[in-house]
Structure 1
Amino acid sequence: MLSPNGKLHRRALVAAVLEGRGDMAVIAGLGAPAWDITAVGDTALNLPLWGGMGGAAMIGLGLALAQPERRVLVITGDGEMLMGVGSLATISVQAPKNLSILVCDNEHYGETGMQETATGHGVDLVAMARGAGIKHTMFVTKPDEVAGLRAAIHAGAGPFFAVAKIDAETLPLVLPPREGVILQSRMREAILGPAANLE
Protein backbone atom coordinates (compact mmCIF):
# COMPACT_ATOMS: atom_id res chain seq x y z
CA MET A 1 0.00 0.00 0.00
CA LEU A 2 3.07 2.27 0.18
CA SER A 3 4.51 4.01 -2.87
CA PRO A 4 8.29 4.26 -3.46
CA ASN A 5 8.23 7.72 -1.84
CA GLY A 6 6.82 6.24 1.37
CA LYS A 7 3.27 7.57 1.12
CA LEU A 8 0.03 5.61 0.91
CA HIS A 9 -1.50 4.73 -2.45
CA ARG A 10 -4.79 6.58 -2.47
CA ARG A 11 -6.87 4.04 -4.38
CA ALA A 12 -5.75 1.15 -2.19
CA LEU A 13 -6.53 3.27 0.87
CA VAL A 14 -10.05 4.09 -0.34
CA ALA A 15 -10.71 0.44 -1.21
CA ALA A 16 -9.61 -0.64 2.26
CA VAL A 17 -11.77 1.96 3.98
CA LEU A 18 -14.87 1.06 1.95
CA GLU A 19 -14.54 -2.69 2.40
CA GLY A 20 -17.73 -4.06 3.93
CA ARG A 21 -19.39 -0.63 3.88
CA GLY A 22 -22.94 -1.99 3.93
CA ASP A 23 -25.48 0.83 3.71
CA MET A 24 -22.96 3.61 4.35
CA ALA A 25 -23.54 6.68 2.18
CA VAL A 26 -20.36 8.15 0.69
CA ILE A 27 -19.89 11.73 -0.49
CA ALA A 28 -16.75 12.23 -2.58
CA GLY A 29 -15.18 15.60 -3.23
CA LEU A 30 -14.48 16.61 -6.79
CA GLY A 31 -11.65 14.99 -8.70
CA ALA A 32 -9.60 12.07 -7.39
CA PRO A 33 -11.93 11.11 -4.48
CA ALA A 34 -14.81 10.78 -6.98
CA TRP A 35 -12.73 8.61 -9.32
CA ASP A 36 -11.47 6.50 -6.41
CA ILE A 37 -14.85 5.61 -4.89
CA THR A 38 -16.05 4.74 -8.39
CA ALA A 39 -13.02 2.51 -8.94
CA VAL A 40 -14.02 0.57 -5.82
CA GLY A 41 -17.53 0.12 -7.27
CA ASP A 42 -20.21 2.48 -8.49
CA THR A 43 -23.34 2.36 -6.34
CA ALA A 44 -26.43 4.46 -5.73
CA LEU A 45 -25.10 5.22 -2.23
CA ASN A 46 -22.16 7.11 -3.76
CA LEU A 47 -22.50 10.83 -4.41
CA PRO A 48 -19.39 11.91 -6.32
CA LEU A 49 -19.16 15.67 -6.74
CA TRP A 50 -18.17 16.85 -10.17
CA GLY A 51 -17.98 20.44 -8.96
CA GLY A 52 -18.86 22.59 -5.97
CA MET A 53 -15.35 22.62 -4.55
CA GLY A 54 -15.37 23.06 -0.79
CA GLY A 55 -18.86 21.66 -0.32
CA ALA A 56 -18.31 17.94 0.32
CA ALA A 57 -18.11 18.16 4.14
CA MET A 58 -21.27 20.28 4.39
CA ILE A 59 -23.20 17.98 2.05
CA GLY A 60 -22.09 15.10 4.25
CA LEU A 61 -23.24 16.98 7.34
CA GLY A 62 -26.66 17.62 5.85
CA LEU A 63 -27.10 13.97 4.92
CA ALA A 64 -25.89 12.79 8.34
CA LEU A 65 -28.38 15.05 10.12
CA ALA A 66 -31.21 13.95 7.84
CA GLN A 67 -30.37 10.25 8.21
CA PRO A 68 -29.10 9.86 11.79
CA GLU A 69 -29.25 6.04 11.70
CA ARG A 70 -27.09 5.78 8.57
CA ARG A 71 -23.30 6.10 8.59
CA VAL A 72 -22.11 8.85 6.28
CA LEU A 73 -18.53 9.15 5.03
CA VAL A 74 -17.04 12.13 3.24
CA ILE A 75 -13.87 11.40 1.27
CA THR A 76 -12.23 14.55 0.01
CA GLY A 77 -8.86 16.10 -0.80
CA ASP A 78 -6.69 18.57 1.04
CA GLY A 79 -7.37 21.38 -1.44
CA GLU A 80 -11.12 21.08 -1.06
CA MET A 81 -10.94 20.74 2.73
CA LEU A 82 -8.80 23.87 2.95
CA MET A 83 -11.39 25.71 0.90
CA GLY A 84 -14.22 24.52 3.15
CA VAL A 85 -12.36 24.51 6.46
CA GLY A 86 -15.02 26.65 8.13
CA SER A 87 -17.38 23.66 7.87
CA LEU A 88 -15.43 21.97 10.68
CA ALA A 89 -16.86 24.44 13.21
CA THR A 90 -20.44 23.73 12.14
CA ILE A 91 -19.82 19.97 12.13
CA SER A 92 -18.39 20.19 15.64
CA VAL A 93 -21.37 22.15 16.96
CA GLN A 94 -23.93 19.87 15.29
CA ALA A 95 -21.92 16.79 16.40
CA PRO A 96 -23.52 14.06 14.26
CA LYS A 97 -22.35 10.70 15.58
CA ASN A 98 -22.79 9.07 12.17
CA LEU A 99 -20.47 11.40 10.20
CA SER A 100 -16.84 10.69 9.29
CA ILE A 101 -14.56 12.79 7.11
CA LEU A 102 -11.43 11.38 5.47
CA VAL A 103 -9.06 13.84 3.81
CA CYS A 104 -6.73 12.17 1.31
CA ASP A 105 -3.85 14.64 1.47
CA ASN A 106 -1.37 14.63 -1.42
CA GLU A 107 -0.33 18.24 -0.71
CA HIS A 108 -1.39 19.29 -4.22
CA TYR A 109 -4.35 20.65 -6.17
CA GLY A 110 -4.69 17.61 -8.41
CA GLU A 111 -7.40 18.96 -10.70
CA THR A 112 -5.80 22.27 -11.62
CA GLY A 113 -2.19 21.44 -12.42
CA MET A 114 -0.65 19.95 -9.25
CA GLN A 115 0.10 23.27 -7.56
CA GLU A 116 1.20 22.79 -3.94
CA THR A 117 -1.37 23.24 -1.19
CA ALA A 118 -0.75 24.70 2.24
CA THR A 119 -0.59 21.22 3.82
CA GLY A 120 2.76 20.74 2.12
CA HIS A 121 4.02 23.78 4.02
CA GLY A 122 3.07 22.76 7.54
CA VAL A 123 -0.67 23.48 7.72
CA ASP A 124 -2.20 20.76 9.91
CA LEU A 125 -5.82 19.94 9.09
CA VAL A 126 -6.12 17.54 12.04
CA ALA A 127 -5.07 20.32 14.42
CA MET A 128 -7.63 22.60 12.77
CA ALA A 129 -10.37 20.00 13.27
CA ARG A 130 -9.39 19.60 16.92
CA GLY A 131 -9.35 23.36 17.32
CA ALA A 132 -12.89 23.46 15.95
CA GLY A 133 -13.91 21.03 18.69
CA ILE A 134 -13.89 17.69 16.86
CA LYS A 135 -12.49 15.33 19.50
CA HIS A 136 -12.22 12.09 17.54
CA THR A 137 -9.40 12.55 15.00
CA MET A 138 -6.63 10.54 13.37
CA PHE A 139 -3.52 11.20 11.28
CA VAL A 140 -2.56 8.27 9.06
CA THR A 141 0.76 7.78 7.30
CA LYS A 142 1.45 4.03 7.49
CA PRO A 143 -0.29 0.93 6.12
CA ASP A 144 -0.61 -0.61 9.60
CA GLU A 145 -2.75 2.38 10.65
CA VAL A 146 -5.35 1.82 7.93
CA ALA A 147 -7.21 -0.95 9.79
CA GLY A 148 -7.70 1.43 12.74
CA LEU A 149 -8.86 4.15 10.37
CA ARG A 150 -11.42 1.83 8.80
CA ALA A 151 -12.63 0.67 12.21
CA ALA A 152 -13.10 4.26 13.38
CA ILE A 153 -15.06 5.17 10.25
CA HIS A 154 -17.28 2.08 10.45
CA ALA A 155 -17.89 2.47 14.20
CA GLY A 156 -20.24 5.42 13.73
CA ALA A 157 -18.95 7.18 16.84
CA GLY A 158 -18.37 10.57 15.29
CA PRO A 159 -18.02 13.16 14.30
CA PHE A 160 -14.71 11.67 13.21
CA PHE A 161 -12.05 13.49 11.17
CA ALA A 162 -8.95 11.91 9.65
CA VAL A 163 -6.13 12.93 7.35
CA ALA A 164 -4.21 10.30 5.39
CA LYS A 165 -1.02 11.33 3.62
CA ILE A 166 -1.13 9.87 0.12
CA ASP A 167 1.12 9.74 -2.92
CA ALA A 168 0.56 12.54 -5.44
CA GLU A 169 0.29 9.95 -8.21
CA THR A 170 -1.72 10.22 -11.39
CA LEU A 171 -3.98 7.22 -11.90
CA PRO A 172 -6.32 6.23 -14.75
CA LEU A 173 -9.70 7.92 -14.40
CA VAL A 174 -12.66 5.76 -13.42
CA LEU A 175 -15.55 8.09 -14.05
CA PRO A 176 -18.95 7.97 -12.36
CA PRO A 177 -22.09 9.13 -14.16
CA ARG A 178 -21.60 12.79 -15.04
CA GLU A 179 -25.15 14.06 -14.67
CA GLY A 180 -25.81 15.52 -11.22
CA VAL A 181 -29.56 14.92 -11.43
CA ILE A 182 -28.97 11.19 -11.96
CA LEU A 183 -26.52 10.98 -9.06
CA GLN A 184 -28.85 12.85 -6.71
CA SER A 185 -31.95 10.93 -7.78
CA ARG A 186 -30.44 7.48 -7.45
CA MET A 187 -29.09 8.23 -3.96
CA ARG A 188 -32.44 9.68 -2.91
CA GLU A 189 -34.21 6.54 -4.13
CA ALA A 190 -31.65 4.24 -2.48
CA ILE A 191 -32.17 5.99 0.87
CA LEU A 192 -35.88 6.85 0.80
CA GLY A 193 -37.29 4.21 -1.58
CA PRO A 194 -38.66 4.24 -5.13
CA ALA A 195 -41.51 6.65 -4.33
CA ALA A 196 -39.05 9.36 -3.19
CA ASN A 197 -38.45 10.66 -6.70
CA LEU A 198 -42.17 10.86 -7.47
CA GLU A 199 -42.77 13.63 -4.93
Structure 2
Amino acid sequence: MALPTMDRRAAVKKLLDARDGALVVTGLGSPSYDVHAAGDRDDNYYLWGAMGGAALVGLGLAQAQPRRRVMVITGDGEQLMAFGSLATISVARPKNLDLIILDNQHFGETGMQSSHTGRGIGFDRVAAACCFAEVAELRSLEEVDA
Protein backbone atom coordinates (compact mmCIF):
# COMPACT_ATOMS: atom_id res chain seq x y z
CA MET A 1 0.00 0.00 0.00
CA ALA A 2 1.37 3.42 -0.96
CA LEU A 3 2.03 5.95 1.75
CA PRO A 4 0.01 9.16 1.56
CA THR A 5 1.79 12.05 -0.12
CA MET A 6 1.65 15.72 0.69
CA ASP A 7 1.79 18.67 -1.68
CA ARG A 8 5.21 19.98 -0.67
CA ARG A 9 4.66 23.49 -2.05
CA ALA A 10 1.34 23.84 -0.24
CA ALA A 11 2.95 22.67 3.02
CA VAL A 12 5.83 25.14 2.70
CA LYS A 13 3.42 27.97 1.86
CA LYS A 14 1.30 27.12 4.91
CA LEU A 15 4.38 27.22 7.14
CA LEU A 16 5.61 30.49 5.67
CA ASP A 17 2.21 32.17 5.81
CA ALA A 18 2.48 31.85 9.60
CA ARG A 19 6.21 32.64 9.90
CA ASP A 20 5.66 35.79 11.98
CA GLY A 21 9.01 37.40 11.17
CA ALA A 22 11.08 34.22 11.21
CA LEU A 23 14.35 34.03 9.34
CA VAL A 24 14.27 31.20 6.78
CA VAL A 25 17.23 29.15 5.55
CA THR A 26 16.65 26.74 2.69
CA GLY A 27 18.59 23.69 1.69
CA LEU A 28 19.78 22.86 -1.77
CA GLY A 29 17.28 22.22 -4.56
CA SER A 30 13.52 21.90 -4.30
CA PRO A 31 13.15 23.48 -0.85
CA SER A 32 14.69 26.68 -2.25
CA TYR A 33 12.22 26.66 -5.13
CA ASP A 34 9.32 25.98 -2.75
CA VAL A 35 10.22 28.86 -0.42
CA HIS A 36 10.74 31.24 -3.34
CA ALA A 37 7.39 30.20 -4.86
CA ALA A 38 5.69 31.01 -1.54
CA GLY A 39 7.04 34.56 -1.78
CA ASP A 40 10.58 35.89 -1.93
CA ARG A 41 11.56 38.01 1.06
CA ASP A 42 14.70 39.68 2.33
CA ASP A 43 14.78 37.37 5.35
CA ASN A 44 14.91 34.22 3.20
CA TYR A 45 18.40 32.80 2.71
CA TYR A 46 18.60 30.38 -0.18
CA LEU A 47 21.61 28.24 0.62
CA TRP A 48 22.59 27.07 -2.82
CA GLY A 49 25.76 25.14 -3.53
CA ALA A 50 26.49 24.00 0.03
CA MET A 51 24.87 20.57 0.22
CA GLY A 52 24.48 19.60 3.85
CA GLY A 53 24.97 23.11 5.21
CA ALA A 54 21.44 24.38 5.83
CA ALA A 55 20.89 22.96 9.32
CA LEU A 56 24.17 24.29 10.71
CA VAL A 57 23.74 27.69 9.04
CA GLY A 58 20.33 27.78 10.72
CA LEU A 59 21.91 26.87 14.05
CA GLY A 60 24.43 29.69 13.68
CA LEU A 61 21.65 32.18 12.91
CA ALA A 62 19.59 30.94 15.86
CA GLN A 63 22.55 31.43 18.18
CA ALA A 64 23.39 34.86 16.74
CA GLN A 65 19.75 36.02 16.77
CA PRO A 66 18.28 34.41 19.93
CA ARG A 67 15.18 36.65 19.86
CA ARG A 68 14.24 35.64 16.31
CA ARG A 69 12.70 32.40 15.20
CA VAL A 70 14.78 30.59 12.57
CA MET A 71 13.23 28.05 10.23
CA VAL A 72 15.41 25.68 8.23
CA ILE A 73 13.53 24.10 5.34
CA THR A 74 15.57 21.41 3.65
CA GLY A 75 15.26 18.04 1.95
CA ASP A 76 16.10 14.53 3.06
CA GLY A 77 18.99 14.16 0.62
CA GLU A 78 20.58 17.43 1.70
CA GLN A 79 20.12 16.62 5.39
CA LEU A 80 21.60 13.16 4.93
CA MET A 81 24.81 14.91 3.82
CA ALA A 82 24.98 16.47 7.30
CA PHE A 83 23.67 13.65 9.44
CA GLY A 84 25.84 14.64 12.41
CA SER A 85 24.38 18.15 12.48
CA LEU A 86 21.32 16.71 14.21
CA ALA A 87 23.46 15.76 17.21
CA THR A 88 25.18 19.17 17.18
CA ILE A 89 21.83 20.99 17.14
CA SER A 90 20.56 18.79 19.95
CA VAL A 91 23.56 19.59 22.14
CA ALA A 92 23.17 23.34 21.46
CA ARG A 93 19.41 23.18 22.24
CA PRO A 94 18.34 26.41 20.52
CA LYS A 95 14.75 27.20 21.50
CA ASN A 96 14.26 29.40 18.43
CA LEU A 97 15.24 26.90 15.71
CA ASP A 98 12.78 24.82 13.70
CA LEU A 99 14.19 22.17 11.36
CA ILE A 100 11.74 21.09 8.65
CA ILE A 101 12.90 18.21 6.45
CA LEU A 102 10.90 17.61 3.27
CA ASP A 103 11.34 13.90 2.60
CA ASN A 104 10.68 12.57 -0.89
CA GLN A 105 13.03 9.61 -0.35
CA HIS A 106 15.31 10.74 -3.19
CA PHE A 107 18.47 12.68 -3.90
CA GLY A 108 16.70 15.06 -6.26
CA GLU A 109 19.66 17.23 -7.24
CA THR A 110 21.86 14.33 -8.31
CA GLY A 111 19.47 12.32 -10.45
CA MET A 112 16.62 11.11 -8.21
CA GLN A 113 18.51 8.17 -6.74
CA SER A 114 16.72 6.58 -3.78
CA SER A 115 17.82 8.05 -0.47
CA HIS A 116 18.29 6.25 2.82
CA THR A 117 14.89 7.39 4.05
CA GLY A 118 13.25 5.13 1.49
CA ARG A 119 15.14 2.25 3.06
CA GLY A 120 14.02 2.66 6.65
CA ILE A 121 15.96 5.62 8.05
CA GLY A 122 13.44 7.96 9.67
CA PHE A 123 14.54 11.48 10.57
CA ASP A 124 11.84 11.56 13.25
CA ARG A 125 13.45 8.58 14.97
CA VAL A 126 16.96 9.98 14.53
CA ALA A 127 15.92 13.35 15.99
CA ALA A 128 14.23 11.60 18.91
CA ALA A 129 17.40 9.57 19.51
CA CYS A 130 19.34 12.86 19.53
CA CYS A 131 16.94 14.12 22.24
CA PHE A 132 15.22 16.86 20.22
CA ALA A 133 12.57 18.43 22.45
CA GLU A 134 9.83 18.10 19.83
CA VAL A 135 9.67 15.72 16.87
CA ALA A 136 6.88 14.99 14.40
CA GLU A 137 6.48 13.18 11.10
CA LEU A 138 3.66 14.73 9.09
CA ARG A 139 2.01 13.00 6.17
CA SER A 140 -0.91 15.29 5.34
CA LEU A 141 -1.37 19.00 4.80
CA GLU A 142 -3.94 19.04 7.59
CA GLU A 143 -1.21 18.04 10.05
CA VAL A 144 1.01 21.00 9.14
CA ASP A 145 0.78 23.54 11.94
CA ALA A 146 3.17 26.45 11.98
TM-score, structure 2 as length reference:
0.95
The one of 30, 53, 56 equivalent to 2:54 is: 56
**Any conservation in 1 of the 2:59–2:94 contact (CA below 8 Å)?**
yes
Partners of 2:73 and 2:99 within 8 A in 1: yes
Kindly report which structure 2 residues correspond to 1:25-40, keeping only aligned pairs within 5 A, or say none.
Answer: 25-40=23-38
Paired residue secondary structure (2:110): coil
SS at match of 2:35: helix
Report the number of matched residues: 145
- Displacement of 1:85 in angstroms is 1.2
Shift in Å at residue 49 of structure 1? 1.2
Give 2:19's match in structure 1, choosing from 21, 41, 49.
Answer: 21
Question: Residues 10 and 141 of structure 2 are in contact (CA less than 8 Å); yes or no, is this contact kept in structure 1?
Answer: no
Cα deviation, residue 5, structure 1? 7.3
CA distance in 1: counterparts of 2:3 and 2:120, whole angstroms: 18
Amino acid at match of 1:90: T
**What is the aligned counterpart of 2:91 among 86, 90, 93?**
93
Larger radius of gyration: 1
- Distance in 2, matches of 1:20 and 1:145, equals 14
Residue 34 of structure 1 and its aligned partner are, at CA, apart by 0.6
Map of 1:46-195 to 2, 5 A cutoff? Answer: 46-147=44-145, 150=146
In structure 1, how many angstroms separate the alpha carbons of the residues matched to 2:6 and 2:85? 26
Q: Deviations over 1:5-41 (max 9, x none)?
A: 7300110110011113231000000100111100011
The answer on whether the counterparts of 2:70 and 2:96 sit within 8 Å (CA) in structure 1 is: yes
CA distance in 1, matches of 2:68, 2:85: 20
Which ranges of 4 or more aligned residues in structure 1 deviate by more than 4 Å? none
Let me know the Cα RMSD of the aligned residues.
1.3
Point out where structure 1 has 5 or more consecutive residues left out of the alignment. 151-199
Q: 1:135: how far off?
A: 2.4
**SS of match in other structure, 2:36:** helix
* Structure 2: stretches of 5+ with no match in the other structure: none
Deviation at 1:90, TM superposition (A): 1.1
